[in-house]
Chains A and B, each alone.
Chain A
Amino acid sequence: MRKTLWRALARSPKATAGAILLAVFTVLALFPGLFARDSPTAEAYQRNLGPSAAHLFGTTGLGQDVFAQAVYGTRQVLEIAFGAGLASTLIAAVIGVAAAYLGGFWDGALSLFTDVVLVIPLFPLLIVIAAYVHNSGTGVLIAVLTFTGWSYTARQLRSQALSLRSRDFLAAARVRGERAAYIIAVEILPTMISLLVAAFLTNALYDVLFASSLQFIGLGDPNSVSWGTMLYWAENNEALQTGYYLQAIVPGAAIALLGAAFALLNYAFDEIGNPALRPVRAPRARRRLASIRTRRLADA
């Protein structure tokens, strides 16, 4: 099954594109020094320069190199995306699947808890929390995003687990004498891998957007290097109004590209999990080819 998974991924153009994009960003995050000569925080250059050979995307209102900021900022964004994405998916998986499997009272209690958290308006809550904790660093952002992000995924995974509950191998495990915790962790969750990965990718995507939004409105740590803070300073600098477009476009484009990477991979995993969504190759060309082959057969 794993072999077919890799083969399916390799064959899907969406997966390949998404994977390449994500790989590029990961490399940038891990080895920023290889790509950007300048330090992102050094206010060493002339302010508000346009693009040139020395500064690929120009400089900011404080004299920092935009390209270096974009490259170094990748790390924080990916940390948040993976950190919050993984954490919220894990919590959602445990709560959602446990609710589905245990049923009865536990399902009622866990679902009620999930629904309450779900109903809390997300963005205002984010703002309140982030404002309360001044200058939220990466850790706080991850915690906040995880707390608000798990409930929707938990409902999704619960309904998917409910449909798996009637599988005989779960009844076989129960009759065999396995404990409920074992069944949830070892028998159910591994069969939902593609669903979990898709949930993670969705969460990662939204975490990138939300984190950047929070930083943009100033609730992040303005001294950290991140795409969201780049947007914050660009706004502060009135970059768009004064014509220094790159200061705003570069971080915006980076966010969009990373989001697209997650979205493409998400589509690809959806197609793998649900064959009905797979694009169908045009049959007409093959029919012509097949009829040529059958003609050759008749002649042989």
Chain B
Amino acid sequence: MLEVSGLTVDYLTGGNPVRAVDGVSLDVQPGEFVGIVGESGCGKTTLLFAIARLLSPPAVVTAGSVTFRGENLVTMTERRLNAVRWQNLSVVMQSAMNALNPVMPVGAQFADALRAHGARSRKVIAARSAEVLRLVGIDAVHLGSYPHQLSGGMRQRAMIAMALLFTPDLVIMDEPTSALDVVAQRSLMTQIKELQRELGFAVIFVTHDMSLVSHYSDRLVVMYAGQVAEAGPTRRIFDSPLHPYARGLLEAFPGIRGAKVPLKGIPGAPPDLSVIQNGCRFSPRCPVKLPECETTAPALLDHEGTSVRCLLYDPSPAPVTAASRPLTRPRQSRRRSDGIA
């Protein structure tokens, strides 16, 4: 239903352009829950915004396409985009306090959205607004409440209700639970999963917290430095992660139960994206790197049903030299060469 192909997004700042997303491809089937996981700077939020056509200058899509129900979102006109937005594709932002208008009651904001897509009758608007609130477990009396009068968890659920006004086919969520405490988080995630089962929409869920999506997503996409490092069924990635970065990420979670073991984390820091890297972008921090990892950039290949970008799983690496990538001269960046997290 959604097919992202070779999407590349650059930030055209004054100096060297920063390639935040580099040739990312992924697809989402109807009703699927896809989790995009990565740490700060990996490009997941930029990817999300690019898919939803929410990028603003200096960020620009420089290559690739996003095909949604047969149409390319990247090249779509504003008018067609407005029709598609919210009807077929909606977005839930990270912080409800940032996304909801603080001086309008929640019901008025729902009415705005409904009217923008052609609803006229006040009765219909009221009925639909009350219905979506009921879906997320909020009493309809809160239609008259202002955002600050609702608790954090209720606000996030109101956001999701607004996203579901037109029962879209795809809902994109950008870390909607990061401002919530763990109990409210679990409540919200379960709610989303139930709604998904009831209404049948697909979800793209962007987060930095892998453990959060472990129970809820069907497929997982792990991003690093603007590229897909590993992608595949969630359980498979959790049970046996292939990419050293994914493995390191999973091992960086101290467990509540089970034996207490000393953990290591992943030393170092992500690379500077304004500089073209020779070879694998994770190699400076990789505990199992091979000598060719520094010179050969691995391609995303299939390995028993999971896509992974690592030379360890590449049967016959063909060297892709950096000479053909003319973005800029590589220069040593002080921060990144420390080796200290």
Interfacial residues, chain A to chain B (CB-CB below 8 A) = 8, 11, 280-281, 283, 286-287, 290-291, 293-294, 296-297, 300
**Cross-chain contact B326 with A281 (CB below 8 angstroms):** no
**Cross-chain contact A286 with B12 (CB below 8 angstroms):** yes
Convert B1-37 into 0s and 1s, putting 1 for each residue whose CB lies closer than 8 angstroms to a CB of A. 0000000101010100100000000000000000000
Interfacial residues, chain B to chain A (CB-CB below 8 A) = 8, 10, 12, 14, 17, 57-58, 60, 62-63, 324-327
Which residue of chain B has its CB nearest to the CB of A278? B14
Collect the chain B residues with CB atoms within 8 Å of residue A286's CB. Answer: 12, 17, 60, 62
Collect the chain A residues with CB atoms within 8 Å of residue B325's CB. Answer: 297
**Cross-chain contact A280 with B58 (CB below 8 angstroms):** yes
Collect the chain A residues with CB atoms within 8 Å of residue B8's CB. Answer: 294
Q: What DSSP secondary structure best describes chain A's contact surface? A: helix
Collect the chain B residues with CB atoms within 8 Å of residue A8's CB. Answer: 14
Pick from B58, B60, B327: contact of A287, CB under 8 Å:
B60
Which residue of chain B has its CB nearest to the CB of A281? B12
A-B contacts, 6 of them at CB < 8 A, read A280-B58, A281-B12, A290-B10, A293-B326, A297-B325, A300-B324
Given A11-B14, A280-B57, A286-B12, does the pair A294, B62 have CB atoms closer than 8 Å? Answer: yes
**Cross-chain contact A287 with B62 (CB below 8 angstroms):** yes
Give bound CA distance, A260 to B324, whole Å.
47
Collect the chain B residues with CB atoms within 8 Å of residue A294's CB. Answer: 8, 62-63
**Cross-chain contact B57 with A290 (CB below 8 angstroms):** no
Q: In the complex, how many angstroms separate the beta carbon of A189 from the nearest chain B beta carbon?
A: 27
Give bound CA distance, A297 to B60, whole Å.
19
**Cross-chain contact A296 with B326 (CB below 8 angstroms):** yes
Give bound CA distance, A297 to B326, whole Å.
9
Given A283-B57, A283-B60, does the pair A297, B324 have CB atoms closer than 8 Å? Answer: yes
Which residue of chain A has its CB nearest to the CB of B323? A300
Collect the chain B residues with CB atoms within 8 Å of residue A300's CB. Answer: 324
Collect the chain A residues with CB atoms within 8 Å of residue B17's CB. Answer: 286
**Cross-chain contact A291 with B62 (CB below 8 angstroms):** yes
Given A283-B57, A296-B324, A300-B324, does the pair A291, B63 have CB atoms closer than 8 Å? Answer: yes
Which residue of chain B has its CB nearest to the CB of A299? B324
Give bound CA distance, A296 to B60, whole Å.
19
Pick from A11, A280, A290: contact of B62, CB under 8 Å:
A290
Give bound CA distance, A286 to B16, whole Å.
12
Give bound CA distance, A280 to B327, whole Å.
20
Give bound CA distance, A78 to B71, whole Å.
63
- 6 A-B pairs with the lowest CB-CB distances in the bound complex, closest first: A300-B324, A290-B62, A280-B57, A283-B60, A294-B63, A297-B324
Give bound CA distance, A294 to B7, whole Å.
12
Give bound CA distance, A11 to B15, whole Å.
10
Collect the chain A residues with CB atoms within 8 Å of residue B57's CB. Answer: 280, 283
Give bound CA distance, A114 to B62, whole Å.
52
Collect the chain B residues with CB atoms within 8 Å of residue A291's CB. Answer: 62-63
Q: In the complex, how many angstroms separate the beta carbon of B264 from the nearest chain A beta carbon?
A: 28
Which residue of chain A has its CB nearest to the CB of B14? A11
